Amino acid sequence: MAQADGGYWEDGRRKGADHFQKEKLEYLSEEAVFRRNAFILITTMIDLSNQTPQDTSVLVDEVLHSLFFLGVINSPPFSPRSLLDDDDEILDYLKIEYPLPFQLYLTQLPRRSPFSCLLDMVASLYGQENEDQIKDKLKIILHQMKEGTNFQILFSSTSVGLAERPPPLSASTSLNELYYSLHGHSLRDGMASATLGVVPSPLKVPLRPCSVPRAGHSRMDSRRYRTLLNTRRS
């Protein structure tokens, strides 16, 4: 399943998109785009985490927290189960391997946007000195997320600003510029600047910035996860 450039998906197409695919010339609904791209990003992050030489599970924690939070404040709201294509096996597995995001997304603000986590993960895989490889990998992932969409919108426009748009990936973009574009503002700043179109769902507990220390956990048993995802492909 895991390959450095293709991951669990092949030929620039992801099975997670198949469930939401429409006719070639039609755009997906914003709700379908949000769910599909969240699923693509989650599975991509886990694939990449299984390939990095160091333990990058904290980045998976962060992207799950960020996406689950964006899902619950979206209109209509999406549960973590919905963002995982309603797959109970994968949901249960992630609850065991990455419990913290499930505990935090309703009560604490995530630290940053999903793309910020993705950039750090790709840089961890290839090394920050390999800028061309990093940008090429990001382009592959973003191309998958743009299929069937308005290319400027990767998540629902009713969600929070920083998660909507892809990072700049022109040939002249340096890695430093890319880092600044994603790390220069926090997700909380994006929420503060969000205006019309954001219709948050009511939360039972007041949100506060995430300050819980990240408890390191060992690299997950990727064989079981791969078995689950390979079963989805058959």
Residue 155 counted as domain residue: yes
Residue 111 counted as domain residue: yes
Total count of domains within the chain: 1
Query: Residue 34 has what pLDDT?
Result: 84
Query: Residue 171 has what pLDDT?
Result: 52
Report whether pLDDT(102) > 50: yes
Q: Which of the 8 DSSP states describes residue 13?
A: B
Query: Residue 98 has what pLDDT?
Result: 93
Residue 2 counted as domain residue: no
- Angle, vertex CA 158, rays to CA 144 and CA 232, nearest 5: 40
Residue 7 counted as domain residue: no
Residue 57 pLDDT level (bands cut at 50, 70, 90): very high
Only one residue has tokens 């994006």, namely 190
Distance separating alpha carbons of residues 150 and 133, to the nearest angstrom? 26
Residue 79 pLDDT level (bands cut at 50, 70, 90): very high
Residue 6 counted as domain residue: no
Distance separating alpha carbons of residues 109 and 208, to the nearest angstrom? 6
Q: Quick one: tokens of 8?
A: 């669990």
Residue 8 counted as domain residue: no
Residue 24 counted as domain residue: yes
Q: If 0-12 CB within 10 Å is exposed, 13-18 middle and 19+ buried, where does residue 172 land? A: exposed
Q: If 0-12 CB within 10 Å is exposed, 13-18 middle and 19+ buried, where does residue 17 land? A: buried
List the single range of 5-14, 66-75, 130-139, 183-192 with lowest mean pLDDT: 183-192
Distance separating alpha carbons of residues 85 and 157, to the nearest angstrom? 20
- Share of residues in the chain with pLDDT > 90 (%): 28
Distance separating alpha carbons of residues 39 and 36, to the nearest angstrom? 5
Distance separating alpha carbons of residues 63 and 114, to the nearest angstrom? 5
Give the tens place of pLDDT for each residue, 131-145.
Answer: 889 888 988 888 888
Complete DSSP assignment for 168-185: P--TT--HHHHHHHHHSS
Using DSSP, state whether 10 is helix, strand or coil: strand
Among residues 229, 230, 234, 231, which one has the least CA distance to residue 42?
229
Q: Domain residues for 67?
A: 15-233
Average pLDDT over residues 58-63: 93
- Share of residues in the chain with pLDDT > 70 (%): 51
Report whether pLDDT(80) > 90: yes
Give the tens place of pLDDT for each residue, 157-208.
Answer: 444 433 444 455 455 555 455 444 444 444 433 333 332 223 334 444 444 4
Residue 221 counted as domain residue: yes
